[in-house]
Structure 1
Amino acid sequence: MKSILIICLIYVLMCSHADAQVCPDTATYKQARAVIQDMDRILAPTGIQEAYKTKIGGIDQWLNVRGQDKENPIILFIHGGPAAPLTPEIWQFQRPIEEYFTVVNWDQRGAGKTFGEVDPDSISDSIHIANYVDDAIEVAEHIRSKYHKNKIILMAHSWGTIIGLNAALKRPDLFYSYVGIGQVINTRDNERISFDYALEQAKAHKNTVAINELESIAPYPGDQPITRDRIITARKWAQFYGGLSAYRENSDYYFKAPLLSPDYDDSDRCAIDKGNMYTLGRILPEFLNVDLTGIHSFPIPVVMFMGRHDYTTPTMPTAIWLKKVKAPYKEGVWFERSSHMIPWEEPGKMLVSLLKYVRPLAADSTKRSN
């Protein structure tokens, strides 16, 4: 069975081998999940560990909340995709962060556990960026109220950065700061940079198969429509040469992580691919027109985590944008051994960077402008 798994906003990786599925279940997987579930239990009296659905944007949407101390600042982490929920992967990297923050992961409309809550036809007309932004704001308001916080930290990855950055612009009063990981600034620029990298690497490695496939869609994106098939061809080779996970030809550690997630049952795991495909067909035209280069000022502190080897959402446009934007506080942090998957690739540096650059902003939101 072929399945197309979409990560970080339509930056697509084609998985053509049958064992890439995340639906099958066995006794071995169940036993492994039981071990992970036991390890991940939060037992501290001050802690919080809960998963629940609540009305957001008129439909039931799922939240996963974890932290060792309720008094810690709250991070709302907006996942990538579209419809690539983070909840079934958090067991891989999030636990150390929970010592210093309470982390809320939200399955967006059309994604993961939320996808299973509604008849897909009933929300088909709502799959628009503006609605995701409004959902994020409503989730933030819910979190502030439920957990008695004045403000929260907004953090986003890949596709989620489009939602997060726009939510911060629309309701800056809700957030201490914004953290972008694999930030999307301009989709067409990203596509061009990623393609050029893939072709350069293919030629350097004398990979005739890759060269022929890439040259068949050149110039890319050019003036032709950016179709799903062209995206797959371009992204497949950029990711093969480490543009998704640095120094790796594939990212099975990520795509197969739901098999071991204690937070998802079998139907939730099967819904991941279904949600990907459902959302992709509806959001692609809007995504291809994303251009945030016209944003010259930002109302709250902004921190960008940038993978040096990221050719899924290439980092140079983000670095250029960050240098020019005016904000109360801004910081760009380079992850030298990472590509697009910073939380997985350099979890230690990510934690240290959150503590150094982000956590202080939750106590002091009046930093001087750079």
Structure 2
Amino acid sequence: MIGICTVLMLGLGVWLFRPISTAPFRAARGGAAANSIAVVERWPINGVDQSVVIRGRNLSDPALIWVSDLWCETPILRHFDAELEEHFVVVYWCQRYSGQSLDPFATPPKTLSLDQYVADLGVLVEGVRARLHKDKVVLIGHSSGTALGLVYAQRHPEHVAAYVGVGQIVNQAEGLKRSYGFAMAEARARHNDQATAELERIGPPPYADDRSSAVLRKWTIALGGAFHGGLSYSKLALVGMTAREANWRDLAAFVRGDRYTAAMVPEMSTLAFDGRDLNFQVPVYLLSGRYDHRTDGALAEAFLDRITAPQKGFAWFERSAHSPPLEEPAAFNAWITDNIRPLTTAR
């Protein structure tokens, strides 16, 4: 048993410390498929080297950039949503201080703002447009990524073919209140005394410290507000760590990443779009899981009703909570391909 455990630990160590890679697209007769792309790169973006994976079976397809949550979703998006690579050239991006872009030995920043992330996205978009020879890109934001994706789409419509927000942030203060109401109701209905006591102790938001926010986040997740069905963050972590596009950096970021993004908490906890300019020059589509209690779908639907855009639409995913791309990948990929690809001009 000691020998077996030693071999397993050595194997795990070798796996974790290997360089990341991504598999090429194969032609029917073997070899790399003509006109395809599958690369792992590091791009210097506003003073921080950031990880970029680009994959597409046909370089003539439109470009699609995933603007994921503040923890890098590249490995799990590759696992669940690789079908999109058959219809788009997909760009997976680890934002600063996440996944492969995190240096876990660096000092956490004292200040961090949404505008910094939007500026990073701007550099990424320009690089993708130049690299792939595209006039515009599709942006898909998920969770926290919807904040910078929406801001960029409004500021730079000339570069955006369409914007899709999944679990769209609209009004964080109101959203947190609704999350609290859900968590407290579930805790009492399930006779979960620990959850009830902790939620009563912190009371409803707003909160002056991140500890109370962490308690609310913990119980919202534990009581079913983040995933509908058997998925969980621990299972996603396991899926991610088996991917070729992940190694020890992703594990370190998963464990320590909150220390590096903590400076964003005050701004993100009060972020609201419904009081801003509601005119958009790009198509805007918002997607929500019916059981999402981390970002409230009803808020997103009401927000979409108020905005003006060349084209807009809303879709519910009936078997999802906060992450339809991961909980209903087949339905999600089909929806994006059927509804968003026609809005693009492949060049």
What TM-score does the superposition give when structure 1 sets the normalisation length? Answer: 0.83
- Segments of structure 1 that go 5 or more residues without pairing to the other structure are 1-23, 365-370
With over 3 angstroms needed to count, the CA separation of the structure-2 counterparts of 1:60 and 1:214, relative to structure 1, is same
CA distance in 2, matches of 1:63, 1:37: 11
Q: 1:63 — aligned with what?
A: 52
Structure 2 counterpart of 1:54, which letter? W
CA distance in 2, matches of 1:359, 1:181: 17
Q: Deviations over 1:7-29 (max 9, x none)?
A: xxxxxxxxxxxxxxxxx965269
Q: 1:310 — aligned with what?
A: 292
CA distance in 2, matches of 1:272, 1:236: 15
- What RMSD in Å do the two structures reach over aligned CA positions? 2.5
Q: 2:35 — aligned with what?
A: 46
1:205 to 190, 200, 208: 190
* Alignment map for 1:119-158 (pairs within 5 Å): 120-121=106-107, 124=109, 127-158=112-143
* Local SS of the residue matching 1:53: strand
Q: 2:167 — aligned with what?
A: 182
Q: Deviations over 1:144-179 (max 9, x none)?
A: 001101111011111111110001111110010101
1:283 to 257, 261, 264: 264
| 1:292 matched to 2:273 | yes
Residue range with higher mean Cα deviation, 203-212 or 334-343: 203-212
CA distance in 2, matches of 1:192, 1:240: 17
| 1:27 matched to 2:14 | no
1:242 to 213, 221, 224: 224
Query: Contact 1:240 / 1:250 at 8 angstroms: preserved in 2?
Result: no
Q: 2:233 — aligned with what?
A: 251
- CA shift, 1:269, in A, is 2.7
| 1:271 matched to 2:253 | yes
Q: 1:12 — aligned with what?
A: none
Q: Deviations over 1:198-232 (max 9, x none)?
A: 111112222222211111112x105x52x222112
Q: 1:231 — aligned with what?
A: 213
1:114 to 97, 101, 121: 101
* Local SS of the residue matching 1:96: helix
Query: Contact 1:32 / 1:260 at 8 angstroms: preserved in 2?
Result: no
Q: 2:72 — aligned with what?
A: 85
2:340 to 344, 355, 358: 358
With over 3 angstroms needed to count, the CA separation of the structure-2 counterparts of 1:249 and 1:48, relative to structure 1, is closer
Query: Contact 1:29 / 1:259 at 8 angstroms: preserved in 2?
Result: no
| 1:75 matched to 2:64 | yes
Q: Deviations over 1:232-264 (max 9, x none)?
A: 221222212221111348432213233212112
Residue range with higher mean Cα deviation, 240-249 or 131-140: 240-249
Residue range with higher mean Cα deviation, 103-112 or 170-179: 103-112
Taking only the aligned residue pairs, the percentage that are identical comes to: 28
Structure 2 counterpart of 1:120, which letter? A
- CA shift, 1:58, in A, is 2.9
* Local SS of the residue matching 2:304: helix
Residue range with higher mean Cα deviation, 253-262 or 64-73: 253-262
Structure 2 counterpart of 1:326, which letter? T
Q: 4+ runs of 1 displaced by more than 4 Å?
A: 28-34
Q: 2:88 — aligned with what?
A: 101
Residue range with higher mean Cα deviation, 89-98 or 72-81: 89-98
Q: 1:349 — aligned with what?
A: 331
2:151 to 166, 183, 186: 166
What TM-score does the superposition give when structure 2 sets the normalisation length? Answer: 0.88
CA distance in 2, matches of 1:25, 1:286: 41
* Local SS of the residue matching 2:92: strand
Structure 2 counterpart of 1:297, which letter? N
CA distance in 1, matches of 2:9, 2:305: 48
With over 3 angstroms needed to count, the CA separation of the structure-2 counterparts of 1:119 and 1:47, relative to structure 1, is same
CA distance in 2, matches of 1:239, 1:26: 34
- CA shift, 1:191, in A, is 0.7
| 1:196 matched to 2:181 | yes
- Segments of structure 2 that go 5 or more residues without pairing to the other structure are 1-7, 27-32
| 1:214 matched to 2:214 | no
Structure 2 counterpart of 1:322, which letter? L
CA distance in 2, matches of 1:60, 1:33: 19
